[in-house]
Structure 1
Amino acid sequence: MKVTLIPVTPFQQNCSLLVCEATGRAAVVDPGGDLEVIQREVERQQVTVEKVLLTHGHIDHCAGAKTLADHYGVPIEGPHEDERFWIEKLPDQSTRFGFPAAQAFEPNRWLHDGDTVQFGDETLEVYHCPGHTPGHVVFFSRKHRIAIVGDVLFAGSIGRTDFPRGNHADLIRSIREKLWPLGDDVTFVPGHGPVSTFGEERRTNPYVADRVTGGMAHGVAR
């Protein structure tokens, strides 16, 4: 699976183009805006977009989802249904943050913990990781050891929890109980900034390093 990061919006959000190299089929994750930039990259790679995937309902991650999905005639999958209130607030979010007008929409499929999504020959596991927002999900390719984590975790930081229905304790629990058990070798693509690995963040992240949190939860090896 080939992963191309496409920074979009004034927030430089990492939209990801995921390509199944065996079939040339692709998924676009978190198209928050600048759709012409995303479309140019799709054309450059000569791939076929099969679906749009969303980690959560903040405007820089999903404002362009409906327009892009309609352009390619594909479904939107994700996030978890607890993000409905954020997606319904897209018109208000666009005004508040100075984005182009964005319309609310209904994903074709809400996702839940334990679900999978497919494009081409690739399968991504879905993990519900609340905290930054209540319905945030993470996409994980077990085969390729890559996770698309949205705004749950960053290189050297973690997601904000001061937005409506954010919860710091939930976020830390999501990271420790959902992400760390996937393995230190997993490379993750955050919603903003550079990629890193779970192992690196367990060693060095000042918010969730093992020395800060006491290692994994529930008796998993520290």
Structure 2
Amino acid sequence: MYRKELFVFEGVKPVPVIIRNYEEKDFPDLLRIQQECFPSPFPPELWWNEEQLINHVTLFPEGALCIEVAGKIAGSMTGLLVDFDPNHPDHSWEEITDNGYIRNHQPDGSTLYVVDIGVRPSYRKLSLGKWLMFSMYEVVVHLRLERLLGGGRMPGYHKWAGEMSPEQYIESVVRGELKDPVVTFLLRCGRTPVRVVADYLEDEESCNYGTLMEWKNPFSISIK
């Protein structure tokens, strides 16, 4: 199981945090985090429910991480293992994550797929999302997987949808001409775009598009 203690910084002040696997006792906090992280117009039916969380901690506990600040859970990240075929990359979030229930988790899969990541708004200045992402990279290395992959929302796209295609929008973000709240964050975490996927998630701000972004295990050549 995973547990890491480190310091993040609030200005110049070091703040101790713990990153660990979440457990059933954490469910009430995790449910509240979903509501805070994904307010309207994000569909409430896509927030976690208890059955989904039970599946996370039983089917793939290694991919169920949370981060604590002063004993309070401030964020979480969840994944499952899949066999991703780069030659057939199109899919929806609901399809590849079993609508968040991860009953399709493949223990022998070579790709850790990100189901969800969220940090409470009041804690976002501490870069907790970045540390959760880095911790999941460590899970990829520990399990000797090929990559971490996930579909990122692109919530800034609706402002530009009348002027450019989603692919052009992502290219503009990668060039630094535009900034997207999610895609730019993922770039800063070391993720690279693979392709834009239509009808990825019911998401008004992203016009239902998602951007597949990966982090390749730098040791994957030796794994093969």
Q: State the TM-score, normalizing by the size of structure 2.
A: 0.32
When you count helix as a share of all residues, which structure comes out higher? Answer: 2
Which protein, 1 or 2, shows the higher relative CO under an 8 Å CA cutoff with sep ≥ 6?
2
Q: State the TM-score, normalizing by the size of structure 1.
A: 0.32
